[in-house]
Structure 1
Amino acid sequence: MKASVQTLAPRMKHGAVMISCLALSLVLVACGGGGDGDSGVTYSSAKPFQVGTTAYDANLPAEPTLPADTQVCATLQASDTLIKRPDGALPPEADPSVAGAGVAASAATTNPDQARIQAALNACGAGVETEVGAAIANADAAAAALQIAAADPTKNIAGASGEELAKPQYKATKYAVRLTAGANGGNAFISGPLTLPSGVTLWIDKGVTLFASRDVMLYNLPGKYCGNTAAPTTTTTAAKAGSSGNCRPLIGGDNLVNAAIVGDGAIDSRAYAEIVTTDKYYPIMKVNETCSNTYAAYQKGTFAAEGTPCDNGGTVVNRTTTVRNMTWWDLAMKGNMVDNGTTGSGSQSCFRMMVFNYVKNLTLYRITMNNSANFHFVPSGIDGLTVWGIKLQTPSLAAFANPAGNGNPLYNGDTFNEDNVKNTDALDPGSASKPTQVALTTGATNVLTTAAAGAAKPTTTWTTTTTTSAAKMYFDGYLKNVAIVYNYVSTGDDDIVLKGSNNPSPTGSGLPGIDGNMDVRADRKYGITIAHNHIYWGHGISIGSETNAGVKNVHVYDNSFNGSEEGLRIKSDYARGGEVSNIYYDNICIKDSTNALLFTPYYSTKALPAAGALIPNFHDIYLSNVRIQDKTTLKLMGFQANTGGLGNPQYPLVMTLKNVVADSPTSMNLIASDANLTLSGVNLPIVASADQRIVVSGAASQAVEAANVVDCSRAYVDFPSPTSPGGTTW
């Protein structure tokens, strides 16, 4: 990492404290992240870098902005019958649960706003296409023609870059749909799944929350079943483990240019609340693990007899029980923890908050995201991903308040904690599976169809039909030009994780699925930057567990971890491993973490793929100016030769640690094996070991003063939201 100097901004950035590196000292302080293996990173006892206070970073592109009023296509006001409580939850009477099994909830109360929000998005998308669609298509065609003429077999045809399409001539005069408070106090919307059109920004005002509908019927994909821990297809009754792939996301969008979700309002998926159904025949699991029906009977529009074995992951049909329905998080606990612990293959069909695929320029800005039923944000194949100034917290105070009025903890009696609200990853960017040429999505229509009784298909089906642009565009499938910065993240699983599962590279090109040096834009220094974030509950900043497509050239700097289960983490296993290299961690504070550093190729014992083992190989990993506070565990592990009798060579963890220190080095619990470690200014208990195949260059010393390496005095702040269970002084 080249030494750099932070600059004071003329004003406070959103979510950042104004003052950092107050003055230049005689020794330059490494203040801006990124790195190389031996970059001359140093620290000054007078002015060590102060984590968590950076206001301006010249390595980053410009901060996004909210739309102007003149750029709004439509403004929708919240109904004055929907007023959330101070804890952020809707009161039970807003969309009440229904008593008894086999009783349908009201569509009018479970989904009052989806149609009007989608209609506004569609109209805005159509306007964008009319105004700038041709300009975007022409730019893409011209760029693609040059790329095709170049005939480079190592590169996908990408068409116009996200950098080019970010220019003003490709943005419509009006492009935003704004959700605002009602005239008489209404501040909430309840909606089923929404499709974000190309070129459109969804803007949620401060104090306004978009709540997910609790009606499971809205999330079913055709031929699949959502809301279970085991789900047969519509043509078989053979139960299979649940999957989030059975469910529509709350907000989705594929094949987009210049799309965004912004504002100082919130989105709450309400995974803590009882699931309901507007189709009385649809199977719902109860907290005593019985079910209201079977899918086999549902397909015929009938009820199964009492005591019939469930096929949704429950035990037997019981419509006389008075216990409550399960919540999405109940399903996640049962499928992911209880069932998986028994069978090794359990899962759950819970909807994700946001899923986007193939986008040139996608932005989340200042929005608050709470209580997703599964992953919060899954963007794949994005050129120009910006996540700036968001607040993401799961579970929030609303979850503990249980607004459905049922006073429920998890179905097994547990109350929410950092490790039992499962699969609620916050930010999961990755590459897409392949390049594509497709028309842009300009709108969507949701159609409800009801089959006749006795038909061999679901009685109620929601089908989404998209409208598209006239011309097709190229997307190369890579994840590139990523800035995840100035965010506050607390969740029940990974906080920020790069997923290296898909590789769109041409066969034989040797390119990884994720490479931060690919097509780096002129407005930034690094292609993948994760910086200036405050991390709370969760599994920290991770790479993996899928690394089979390869991940390289990632810059992680000026981040704090307060109470996270993990801090810095690379994880994989021989079922989905691959090469991870040139990862740079700089200027980090970690406090009260279970595993401050966790680098392991033994993440799980999943079955090997048919093609054979995919072995993890983590090398050229650089840590500099990292301070660890409080007792914790450190895991530094490579892959041992001939693991499991595979006959593989050793793939050691190759890591350089420079100025990596603990306040109490004797309280560190180190687990290490198969590692080649280079040390400088390190006080951790790292020593060479022939038995554990650990090779050390340099030596650790307790003479290093942790306080001189990095300043953590202002790194840890309360979560900046009045709905935080831990409170806030913000």
Structure 2
Amino acid sequence: MLISTRPALAAGAAALACALAPHAHAQDTRKVSEPVVPPSCAVLHADPATPGQDDTARIQAAIKACKPGRALHLAPRDGATGFVSGPLTLTDGVTLVVDRGATLYASTNPALFDRGAGTCGTNDQNGRGCSPLITVKGGAGSGIMGEGVIDGQGGRLIDGKTESWWQIARRAQKEKSRQNVPRLIVVDQVRDFTLYRITLRNSPNFHVTTNRVDGFTAWGVRIDTPHDARNTDGIDPGASRNITIAHSYIRTGDDNIAIKAGSGATENVSILHNHFYSGHGMSIGSETNGGVRNILVEDLDLDGTTSGLRIKSNDRRGGEVRGVVYRNVCMRDVKWPLFIDTHYEPGENGNLIPNYTGVRMEQVRSLTPGRLALGGYDDAHPLKLALRDVVVDGKPQLKTEFAQFDGAINAAGAQALDCSRRFEPFPGDEAH
């Protein structure tokens, strides 16, 4: 069809030793290399005498006692591995480290997360009734690291309820209401925040979101949540700049990564050497009204996502998206390998027009055909897309509208990217 229109993450830290500096065209303006765990300020052990107790107060007190530039460790002891907590606030410059063998569980008690209206754990028309498990606000140089796990327990029954966090979210979808459930990690107005080698799983809602952050690094992170858990995005950079997400493995129930710009511009984003599994793919939007610019997605494998490379918005939340480069991308079993939509979630007309320009795809390959949708908003706001060595195997279905192409999909002479050895099992699945 002519349409005119990696290195693996090993167990040892040595496998992540390569710096990102050699990628001269990375959009993050910082020089980003593999993070280093800061010196310890204290070690807090799981208590074998009182498993399942509320550890919120002692964890928060230990964080508060830790000085900037230091790390609080949560560690197992004498067979006890778990900590259970309500909302925590990470203070300026402090890193929380969950050691190998330890798990920080979000409590299933909605009262701990309630913002004061008594709505956490219910559905209404607002959906803002719960605090996140971990809030990071203000300051610089904080982080969450370690070989352990942070588990949101989204599939467990909410205390005093007959439903889990995920079940009330699914019911809200049917009832056209909003679920009041906690997010896992919210990073707000921070400079140089780092996620490193931590496993995040089973969040009741989004796993990680940023807002007005300058400098965010996620390196060697694993995010693991069932494919049918609603609104469980992996990492959502929003209204932020200088972002690097690298060497990470993400499978979830919604967008694996979604770059958003609802309350301000998101710019200078590098997404490098990552693997996606179940989820809605590598997304931009749907909030783009603040402007999205200077994005590089390079060396990405998408294995079984619903969408592949996706830009989505509408005229109620649209804006300019420009300077987006997708390079060296392999896909298989993806229903919508290429999905660029300016009429996402139709509704009443608005005046925030999506405008996608300067979008480029180089060495992009889908081993399975799927469906392709490539559209701009209207004649005055067309999609402007450059295509070089973009190959979709089989006989894909194509829909285009208001689109200007430089190059073609499956063009004569296109050099198809070799994806034969690219796809890896999710870490830990190798033995199954």
TM-score (structure 1 length as normaliser): 0.55
In structure 2, the residue matched to 1:259 is 142
Query: Offset of 1:625 from its aligned partner?
Result: 0.5
In structure 1, the gaps of 5 or more residues are 1-5, 19-30, 37-57, 83-93, 95-108, 129-170, 231-240, 278-283, 285-324, 341-345, 396-417, 432-478, 504-512, 517-527, 642-649, 684-699, 722-726
User: Does the 8 Å CA contact 2:366/2:391 hold for their aligned counterparts?
Assistant: yes
Query: Offset of 1:594 from its aligned partner?
Result: 0.8
Q: Which amino acid counterpart does residue 58 of structure 2 have in structure 1?
A: R
Which secondary structure does the structure 2 equivalent of 1:533 belong to? strand
Q: 2:424 aligns with which of 717, 723, 729?
A: 717
Q: Are the structure 2 counterparts of residues 392 and 327 from structure 1 closer, same or farther at C-alpha, using a change threshold of 3 Å? A: same
Query: Offset of 1:65 from its aligned partner?
Result: 1.4
Q: 1:363 aligns with which of 190, 194, 198?
A: 194
Which secondary structure does the structure 2 equivalent of 1:267 belong to? strand
In structure 2, the residue matched to 1:178 is 73
Q: Distance in 1 between matches of 2:97 and 2:30?
A: 27
Query: Offset of 1:640 from its aligned partner?
Result: 2.6
User: Does the 8 Å CA contact 2:30/2:242 hold for their aligned counterparts?
Assistant: no
Which secondary structure does the structure 2 equivalent of 1:657 belong to? strand
User: Does the 8 Å CA contact 2:16/2:34 hold for their aligned counterparts?
Assistant: no
Q: In proportion to residue count, which structure has more helix?
A: 1
Q: Are the structure 2 counterparts of residues 33 and 618 from structure 1 closer, same or farther at C-alpha, using a change threshold of 3 Å? A: farther
Q: Which amino acid counterpart does residue 677 of structure 1 have in structure 2?
A: F
Query: Offset of 1:631 from its aligned partner?
Result: 2.5
Q: Distance in 2 between matches of 1:489 and 1:429?
A: 15
Query: Offset of 1:242 from its aligned partner?
Result: 4.3
In structure 1, the residue matched to 2:399 is 671
Q: Are the structure 2 counterparts of residues 662 and 574 from structure 1 closer, same or farther at C-alpha, using a change threshold of 3 Å? A: same
In structure 1, the residue matched to 2:390 is 660
* 1:68-147 → structure 2 map (5 Å cutoff): 71-80=39-48, 109=52, 111-124=53-66, 127-128=67-68
Which secondary structure does the structure 2 equivalent of 1:569 belong to? strand
Query: Offset of 1:663 from its aligned partner?
Result: 2.9
Q: Distance in 1 between matches of 2:24 and 2:416?
A: 14
Q: Distance in 1 between matches of 2:46 and 2:270?
A: 37
Which secondary structure does the structure 1 equivalent of 2:142 belong to? strand
User: Does the 8 Å CA contact 1:500/1:550 hold for their aligned counterparts?
Assistant: yes
User: Does the 8 Å CA contact 2:215/2:243 hold for their aligned counterparts?
Assistant: yes
User: Does the 8 Å CA contact 2:17/2:34 hold for their aligned counterparts?
Assistant: no
Q: 2:154 aligns with which of 264, 271, 274?
A: 271
Query: Offset of 1:256 from its aligned partner?
Result: 2.0
In structure 1, the residue matched to 2:274 is 533
Query: Offset of 1:32 from its aligned partner?
Result: 5.0
Query: Offset of 1:62 from its aligned partner?
Result: 1.6
Matched, 1:605 2:330: no
Q: Distance in 2 between matches of 1:197 and 1:711?
A: 46
In structure 2, the residue matched to 1:483 is 244
Matched, 1:329 2:166: yes
User: Does the 8 Å CA contact 1:32/1:59 hold for their aligned counterparts?
Assistant: no
* 1:255-654 → structure 2 map (5 Å cutoff): 255-277=138-160, 284=161, 325-336=162-173, 338-340=174-176, 346-395=177-226, 418=227, 420-431=228-239, 479-503=240-264, 513-516=265-268, 528-608=269-349, 612-640=350-378, 650-654=380-384
Query: Offset of 1:249 from its aligned partner?
Result: 0.2
In structure 2, the residue matched to 1:467 is none
Q: Are the structure 2 counterparts of residues 576 and 248 from structure 1 closer, same or farther at C-alpha, using a change threshold of 3 Å? A: same
Which secondary structure does the structure 2 equivalent of 1:121 belong to? helix
User: Does the 8 Å CA contact 1:390/1:486 hold for their aligned counterparts?
Assistant: yes
Q: Distance in 2 between matches of 1:540 and 1:548?
A: 21
Aligned CA RMSD, in angstroms, stands at 2.5
User: Does the 8 Å CA contact 2:111/2:118 hold for their aligned counterparts?
Assistant: no
Q: Are the structure 2 counterparts of residues 269 and 639 from structure 1 closer, same or farther at C-alpha, using a change threshold of 3 Å? A: same
Larger radius of gyration: 1
Matched, 1:204 2:98: yes
User: Does the 8 Å CA contact 1:15/1:487 hold for their aligned counterparts?
Assistant: no
User: Does the 8 Å CA contact 2:220/2:246 hold for their aligned counterparts?
Assistant: yes
User: Does the 8 Å CA contact 1:271/1:373 hold for their aligned counterparts?
Assistant: yes
Q: In proportion to residue count, which structure has more strand?
A: 2
Query: Offset of 1:180 from its aligned partner?
Result: 0.6
Q: Distance in 2 between matches of 1:659 and 1:531?
A: 19
- 1:119-154, Cα deviation, whole Å (9 max, x unpaired): 100111xx33xxxxxxxxxxxxxxxxxxxxxxxxxx
User: Does the 8 Å CA contact 2:246/2:271 hold for their aligned counterparts?
Assistant: yes
Q: 1:192 aligns with which of 86, 93, 100?
A: 86
Query: Offset of 1:364 from its aligned partner?
Result: 0.3
Q: Distance in 1 between matches of 2:267 and 2:71?
A: 32
User: Does the 8 Å CA contact 2:26/2:270 hold for their aligned counterparts?
Assistant: no
Say how many residue pairs are matched: 421
User: Does the 8 Å CA contact 1:567/1:593 hold for their aligned counterparts?
Assistant: yes
User: Does the 8 Å CA contact 2:198/2:221 hold for their aligned counterparts?
Assistant: yes
Q: Distance in 1 between matches of 2:103 and 2:74?
A: 9
Q: Distance in 1 between matches of 2:259 and 2:101?
A: 31
